Amino acid sequence: MATPTSTALDPAPTATAAADAGQRPAFIPLEANPELMTSLLHKLGLSPALQIHDVYSITEPELLAFIPRPALALLLVFPVSAAYTSHRLAEDAAEAEYAGSGDAEPVLWYRQTIRNACGLMGLLHAVSNGPAKGFVQEDTPLARLIAQSTPLKPLERSALLERTPELAAAHAEAASQGDTVAPDAQDDVDLHYVCFVKTEDGEGKSGTLWELDGARKGPIRRGTLGPDEDVLSEKALLWGPLKFLEREGADMRFSCVALAGSLD
């Protein structure tokens, strides 16, 4: 896997993007840097009880053991290759554009219209769904964003993200403090973030593994996980990041971070 400090970019916008690519707002690409990501989430309103952790391997149990469990979300950074693009287009061709909204939605999904904001989208998907949502503190930018987004349709949610100054300011501060020189907001970077979360069907019951990517047509249901399985369990890794690794062959520009309990 690649180092956990790779910058990442969304793929080219789809034909259904909310705004023309030349007119979309743009953010500086965000490093897959756990310290910066944790600081960003805490600044926006996530409880200090959760933080972002490096995932040094998704195939070696002794390294996975360093992550507090259960892991509530997994963010994967991966290369936007021809193989991935072909797979994405073929899978999306069979799907209708997602139009869900309201409390009955199985997951809260955000369509990405902000250029280079795929890292932020991954973080928002991580904390807006599943058990992590319960760690968002009241009367914070995150709490307000989730509350305002819930009743909206996807394109309306995108517009809300674009006009939320607290989000833009917190992201800009985090993205400018990485370990590597930050690319320009308008640069083309061939890496992308995707988020995997587990939503629970009921207390102590099975749940659903979701792939959440604002560049797709909507949330993608990947399978059912048992009560004791999380996003780092064997099945979740097989249905999620290992599929990406399998497609890319020799290209190893991958990294993972996980949202889980604090080590403090």
- pLDDT profile of the chain (264 residues), mean per 10: 37 39 76 93 97 94 94 94 89 92 94 92 97 97 97 96 93 77 52 94 82 96 95 96 82 87 82
CA atoms within 13 A on the CB side of 65: 4
Matching residue, tokens 């985090």 = 174
Instruction: Give me the pLDDT at residue 204, please.
Output: 63
Q: Catalytic: which of 42, 53, 192, 256?
A: 192
Geometric angle at alpha carbon 151, from 18 and 219, rounded to 5°: 60
Q: Catalytic: which of 118, 171, 195, 256?
A: 118
Instruction: Give me the pLDDT at residue 249, please.
Output: 66
**Residue 192 bears catalytic tag:** yes
Domains of the chain by range and CATH? Answer: 34-261 (3.40.532.10)
The pTM for the full model equals: 0.88
Q: Kindly tell me the burial class for residue 226, based on how many C-beta atoms sit within 10 Å of its own C-beta (0-12, 13-18, 19 or more).
A: exposed
